[in-house]
Structures are given as C-alpha cells and as structure tokens.
A and B are shown apart, each in its own frame.
Chain A
Amino acid sequence: MAVRQLPPDQPAGTAPIEAAAATDGGVAVAPQWKLVWWRFRKHRLAMVSAVFVLLFALVGVFAEFLAPTTPDSYSADHTYAPPQGLHFVDTSGGGTRFGPYVHGYTSVRDPETLARVFQEDESQRIDVGFFVRGEPYEMWGFIPSDRHFIGPTDPEQRVYFLGADRNGRDLLSRIIYGTRISLSIGLVGVALTFVFGIVLGGVSGYFGGRTDTAIQRVIEFLMSIPTIPLWLGLSAAVPRTWGPLETYFAITVILSVIGWTDLARVVRGRFLSLREEDFVLAARLDGCSRPRIILRHMLPSFSSHIIASLTLAIPYMILAETSLSFLGLGLQPPVVSWGVLLQESQNIRTIATAPWLLLPGVAVVVAVLVLNFVGDGVRDSADPYR
C-alpha cells in the first residue's frame, strides 16, 4: 500500500530519472530482478510479512518434527481439554525451579450436563522439553523418527498448549499439520492457475482477433457465475469414495479452474500493450520466431507483474479451500487442513464449550494477511522503472 512519490517536476518530466541514472551508475546497469528487490526491501511491512510467510512455510515443511504429537493421537480422557499455559519459573513447594512446564488437569463431571469440566491443577507439574521423544512418525513419509521439537519430557504425559478437540486430539499439532495442507493447496492451486492463466491470457493477448474474443467471452462467462455455488456444485460432484489424495487434487483443480481468469486478464493486457512496443517489432524484424519473441522478449518484461498476481492469488486459494472444507464439501477428514479443523466449530454449543477451536481461524487470517502484504509489496516494486 505504500505510495510512490511523484517526481518533483511536471507530470511529463523525465529529468529525475535520467539524472538518477547518471549519478548512480549502479542503477543504470542493475538487472531488473535486482531493481525489484531493492524496491521491495523498502517496504517495511512487506519485509516483515515475508519473514512470517517464510515461518509459515517452515512450519508446513517440518510439520511432523515441530508438532508436539501426531494429529491423530487421541485421548478419550481429554475431550475439549482447555489450553494449558506454559510456565517457566516454578515457585511452588518452597524452592524455585526453572524450566518450562505446564500444570496438569483435574476433571470433574458436571452433575447436570454430564459434561466433563477441566480445571488446571496447580499441584501437578508436567515438564516440557525440547527435542524430546514422543509419538513416532515418519518425516515426509519416509524418515522414521520420534523426536519432537517440543513436548512433554515424559512420553506418557499429554500436553495441550492450544487445547484439545472433541476426541482429545492436540489442536496445536493439528494446526501445524493443517498448515502443510492449507498452504500447499494454495501453492499447487496457484501453479495450476499460472499455467491456465499464462497460456490462455498469452494466446489471447498475442494473437488477438477472434481467438482473443472467444477467450474473453469464456472469461467473462466464468466471472459472471457466482463462485461459491459453482465451487459447491463442483466439489459436491467429487465422489465420496475417492481417497484423500484424489480429493485433494480434485479440490485444487476446481479452485484453479475458476481462479485463472484474473491472471489471464493481467497477462492479456500486458501482451496487448507490449505487442505494439518497438523492441518487439525489432525482434520480429530480426526474424525471431514467435515462441522466442514471447519467451525471450515479452515474458521477462512483465514477469514481476505475474509474480505479484500469483502471490496475491495464494491467499484467495487458501480462503476458498477453508470455506469449502468448512462446509464439508472440500477436503474430508482424516486429512487435516485449517478448513477441516474449523468444521468442528460449526455449532454454537461447541464454540461455547471450546472457543479455542476457533484458533485455526487465526492461522488463516494471519497467513492471508501476510501473504497479501507480501503480494502488495511485490506489486508495488514490480515496475522499477515507474
């Protein structure tokens, strides 16, 4: 959102740019990606957000290791157990002990509602350690291990930093695993969007004429259909018998089938204006082939715009997946995504007893927010010559 200052001259003035090129020889010869990077670095908000995006990515990649336990490890005794605060200094029992720990629970049954009510038991102490042994898992599906970044030092104990769900599963671990699925849906979806958008937008913009008209009609048509009912209709068509992986890809394809239109419009617009540029004409007169003109001369000149559009498309993918899964029409358990997690908080009663089940929503909001900031930053820096 940062706003560029106009050069201090009349609108048509070009002197400051020429002048800058003359006084700072470095600017004049820097490749485009470097110029973009220099400008991007000036956006403080975008830089901070980029760090967050990186953290999210790391959490997604190392989910098995970072989670205190596995997402499916359940405990019937811990239904809707509330979050446990992490303590560092223990002054109970006279002496002072350092080191992270949480308090245990005592649970009583409410005589009227028969619901289990948990209370933190100050006298119980569950030590928490780093790089502890715990629930065994297979890193990335093929490296067996039982080391967890954080967890109870005694593998028999259970800790719930962010509380538990209906089956006593650890919400933190589930959110961490959900990060992988939700972010990767965004990435895979955007990759598909990219292919559709570049190819169709490029064809539309480069050839123009009747091809362009046809593709534009299709885009207008797709944009005129209300997205959510269309998504709902398409995902309802995904057979229930399909496995998690097939459903995952089906949902991703559905999201990108509708999402490519924006990118295609951006690419088309750029192509249309570039087609008239002198350097494209020069390349054509030099006898360059069409693919070469497109790939070597036209694409590089607006690749930063494409990257910006793609960055901005990821959060929309994430939001869409979350919405679909929330309705029960997207990913299905046992696959864990943020949307699937939020599905559990659909009714008022659950939210009233276990409001921490809304926490996956916080993950969604923060992820979407930082991705938006980064995308805006890239877009603002995308045109370093402006």
Chain B
Amino acid sequence: MRAGERAAEAGGAPAAQAGGAPGAPGGEVLVELRGLKTHFFTDEGTVRAVDGVDLEIRRGRTLCVVGESGCGKSITARSILQLVEAPGRVVDGRILLRRGGADGGPGEVVDLAGLKPGGKEIRSVRGKDIAMIFQEPMTSLSLVHTVGNQMVEAIRVHNDVGKREARERAVELLGMVNIPNPGRLVDSYPFQFSGGMRQRVMIAMALSCDPGLLIADEPTTALDVTTQAQIMELLKRLQRELGMAIMFITHDMGVVAEMADDVAIMYLGKVVEKGPVDDIFHDPKHPYTRALLESIPKIGHRRRERLRSIKGIVPDPANRPAGCVFHTRCDAFMPGRCDATVPPPVALGPDRQVRCLLYGGDGGPAPGAPDAQTAAPEPTPESSHGD
C-alpha cells in the first residue's frame, strides 16, 4: 500500500526536467551530492578517489553513473552510506538526504557527509532510507547463514516486528523478486543458489525496508548476459511498482541505455558530464563521453568501421595530471589551457552540465557550445552517429 502510494507519487511527478538549474534543490530531488570529496590516506600518499562530485538523484528515477574502473564511481556510491573503508574517508562536501517528504509530511534534510561512519544516525539511514546491492553476489552474502536468517535480520533492524512476522515478510519479498518456491528456499544457504538467484536475494533484502533509494553497484557485472537482462528487467519492474529511485553504477554503456533516466559520466574522481540519457547519447559534449560512446558497437552502423578505443589508460589516482584530468588522453587537447586550468562546470541546459574548456570556463576563447563540434579536432563527423 505504501508502495502503491509512492508509485502514484512518482507517476505524478514525471516532469523531472522541471527542476531548474542543477544545484537548486528541487522538490523531487531525493539525494543531492555537493562537492563530495573522498580521499584515501595511504603510505604512498593521498589518493583523491572522489574529488568534488556534484550529483542529484531524483525520486522514482534512475541515475546511471558511468566510468572506467578506478574512476571513483563505486567510492562515490559507498560515500553516500559512509561505507568507505579505512584508509579512505569522506573529507569534504555535503550529501543531503530528504527524508519523510514522500508521505506528505514536512520532511527533513540530513547531511550524511557529516555523520560518523558506524554511528547511530547513519545506521538508521542504511537499509531504511537507502539500501545497497553489490557487484559480487557470490561473496556479498554470508555463506554460512541461511537466506532467511540474513533477511530477517535486515527486516528487524529497522522494524519492530517479531521473528515470525519478519520471516513471512522475507518469504513475500523473495516471491517479489521471482525466487521460485520462496517458502522452502528461505531456509537454504546462499551457496546452494546460482549467481543470478543470489543477486535476487540481495535485491529482496535491500527492499525489505522499502527504501527511497536503491544504490546498485555494478549489480550485473559478474553475471552472464541472460541473467543480466533478467536482473535489469526485475529492477525496472520493481521501480515501477515501488517508485524508488535507483543509483546504478556501471561501466557498460549498453546497460546505461537500458536503465537510465539520467546519466553522469565520471573520470578520475570528477563528474565530467551529466544530463538526461537521450541528450547524453544523442548529443555528447565532453570528449571523454564521445570517446566512450564510440568505443561500443552499434546496431545499424553503415560501414564496417573499426571500433575506436580510448588511447592510454586511466592515470594513477595518486598522481593526477594538472589541469583537466583527461587532457593526457584527450583528442581535443589544447596545449597551455587544458594542462593549466581545472575546467569548472559549465551549464548547457537546465539539467545539462559539462566540465570541459571547449565550452568555456577559463576566460580564454570560449566558442559557443554548437561551434565546439567544429572547433574540436573531431575525426569522425557527428553525422556518423545518426540513426
């Protein structure tokens, strides 16, 4: 019933684009990251894994965070729940969570970045307001406790219910994620399940307290393609039914196309470009985004072209390039500018933002956004993207 209400609410607010400029917290923004910095203090020096990330996650919508491994997307997700392990720590920024507003109450805003990891306040958020599932369904569940045991525990942390009631709810949840014969399998051990089944169990467990946001950290990466599709289908169905927001971490542009409402592209701890999914796919602005899109095969390609790969590899996060962090691999590298100035965010539309000097930001010659296409030494004309 609660779920139904929420679904109605989510359905009633489809105009997510009406939020105005990013940064102005609109009513439908559930979680907002402002200048988030998570650093790792190792013997070799400080690794700035997340270095000033701004994101907003809207109620009932899916935000996909994309990037190569090591770009900080996973750490960003973990920072939201203060799950970053030592020697890592959230050092700066705000993580604003809007609580309670969904049921028509006044709601309150909590800054999760200020909470102590492992403290009581953040624990009351974990699993209840924001739940999380992980990449490795094989190791993310304890293999020596039954599925039921682990689910009942998750239910009872936040709800004052008896064991029997919690168990019934666990069976119900397992049925919801299409586990066959949930009444019997609730007493099985995870090692008796396949990878896809385990990920379903993880999802069921995450849904046990009806969270407003589900963070999915590469939930399909370790699965085979068929199971991947099933899990994505399941998540989309659950989102429709329960109206929760999803933050989906992935490196797979195909998954993004399938899942996303909004997309954020990350590179070396920074969001280099973000916007609605259609805009990102049809009109990518940042050279990195373009390169990412060119590196995946497309159906309907006219010619037998070679897929392009991004030259070089991600630099050592402990040893970041000066200026724009992408300049060492960028096709549109402008000497003297890109290696000197850190590009500030440039708003290209109500929900569109890019961090690239091609679109201005350093006081130098800033061609307008449309001209940028021609200004950039772009070997492939934009028309080749056309469908």
Contacts and interface: CB of A to CB of B under 8 A. Distances in A.
Contacts of B71: 15
Interface in A1-58: 5-6, 8-16, 18-20, 22-23
Interface residues of A, number: 16
A15 B68 contact: yes
A8 B314 contact: no
A19 B315 contact: yes
A18 B218 CA distance: 20
A4 to B, nearest CB: 10
Nearest to B312: A22
Contacts of A5: 42-43, 87
B319 A23 contact: yes
A15 B49 contact: no
Contact of B69 (A6, A14, A20, A23): A14
A18 B75 contact: no
B329 to A, nearest CB: 11
A13 B74 contact: yes
Contacts of A9: 49, 69-70, 74-75
B331 interface: no
Interface in B227-254: none
Contacts of B75: 8-10
B interface secondary structure, majority: loop
Contacts of B87: 5, 8
Interface in A140-160: none
Interface residues of B, number: 26
B70 A11 contact: no
B136 A15 contact: no
Interface string B70-87: 110011000000000101
A5 B43 CA distance: 9
B207 interface: no
B341 interface: no
A10 B135 contact: yes
A22 B221 CA distance: 25
Given A9-B70, A13-B69, A23 B316 contact: yes
B314 A10 contact: no
A386 to B, nearest CB: 16
A13 B316 CA distance: 13
A282 to B, nearest CB: 25
B56 interface: no
B88 interface: yes
22 contacts: A8-B42, A8-B47, A8-B75, A8-B88, A9-B49, A9-B70, A9-B75, A10-B69, A10-B74, A12-B69, A13-B70, A14-B69, A15-B68, A15-B70, A15-B71, A15-B317, A16-B316, A16-B317, A18-B313, A18-B314, A22-B313, A23-B315
Shortest beta-carbon contacts, A-B, top 10: A15-B70, A8-B40, A19-B316, A10-B74, A8-B47, A23-B316, A15-B69, A8-B49, A13-B69, A5-B42
